[in-house]
């Protein structure tokens, strides 16, 4: 075989190899996109905290509960990646949610922000509906080593989902606000 023929052969095989790699990569991505929604309910019921797809391991629980997401007494904004991961690991049972903030401190009706369809601070036994996606937390905020920390993220209450109030906690916030948290149960 001549050198020119060999070079052409090598060029063709390299091109084919690259084409098959691209097609294979697209196939894996499409497979993930197609299968992940179908596996979502199985992932939730199995309480999966990590997921390995095509050699990529997603440590959902660990990634959700990095220290930046547990600092402070007020809830963080629920970004799309946090929402997706929280929805995949969503635990059942009782958990804490951030209702919102009122002002001045101690007010039970003057809402500056709120995450549920409430006019006043709810009472034990009340059913309320989320008006936005809200993180489920293992515990209400508390002071540890002189700093406010929130409980670990354990899932997501989806907008429109109903929860039942078990307990209420008023946490002192900045700017003369009360930050209202509730221990709830999904009915």
Q: Is the pTM of this model over 0.75?
A: no
Contacts of residue 44, defined as CB under 8 A and 6 or more positions apart, other chains included, come to 87, 88, 89, 90
Based on the domain organization, do 10 and 97 belong to the same domain? no
Q: What is the pLDDT along the chain (187 residues), one digit of tens a residue?
A: 566 776 777 777 777 777 766 776 676 566 556 655 555 554 444 444 445 544 444 555 666 666 666 666 667 677 777 777 777 777 788 999 999 999 999 999 999 999 999 999 999 999 999 999 999 999 998 888 888 888 888 889 999 999 999 999 999 988 999 999 999 997 6
pLDDT score at 136: 92
DSSP state of 78: -
Residues 147, 116: one domain? Answer: yes
Kindly state whether residues 83 and 145 are assigned to the same domain: yes
Diameter over CA atoms, the chain? 88
Q: Are residues 73 and 155 in the same domain?
A: yes
Q: Which domain covers residue 7, as residue numbers? A: 3-45
40 and 67 co-located in one domain:
no
3-class DSSP string for 49-67: CCEEECCEEECHHHHHCCH
């Amino acid at each position: 075989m001549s050198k020119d023929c060999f070079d052409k052969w090598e060029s063709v095989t390299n091109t084919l190899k690259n084409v098959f790699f691209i097609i294979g990569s697209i196939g894996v991505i499409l497979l993930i996109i197609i299968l992940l929604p179908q596996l979502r309910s199985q992932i939730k019921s199995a309480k999966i905290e990590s997921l390995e797809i095509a050699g990529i391991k997603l440590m959902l629980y660990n990634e959700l509960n990095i220290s930046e997401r547990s600092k402070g007494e007020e809830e963080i904004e629920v970004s799309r990646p946090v929402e997706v991961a929280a929805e995949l690991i969503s635990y059942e049972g009782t958990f804490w949610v951030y209702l919102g903030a009122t002002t001045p401190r101690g007010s039970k009706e003057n809402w500056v922000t709120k995450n549920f369809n409430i006019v006043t601070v709810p009472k034990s036994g009340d059913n309320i509906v989320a008006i936005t996606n809200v993180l489920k937390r293992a515990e209400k905020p508390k002071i540890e080593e002189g700093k406010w920390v929130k409980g670990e993220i354990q899932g997501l209450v989806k907008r429109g989902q109903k929860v039942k109030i078990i307990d209420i906690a008023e946490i002192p916030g900045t700017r003369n606000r009360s930050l209202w948290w509730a221990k709830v149960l999904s009915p």
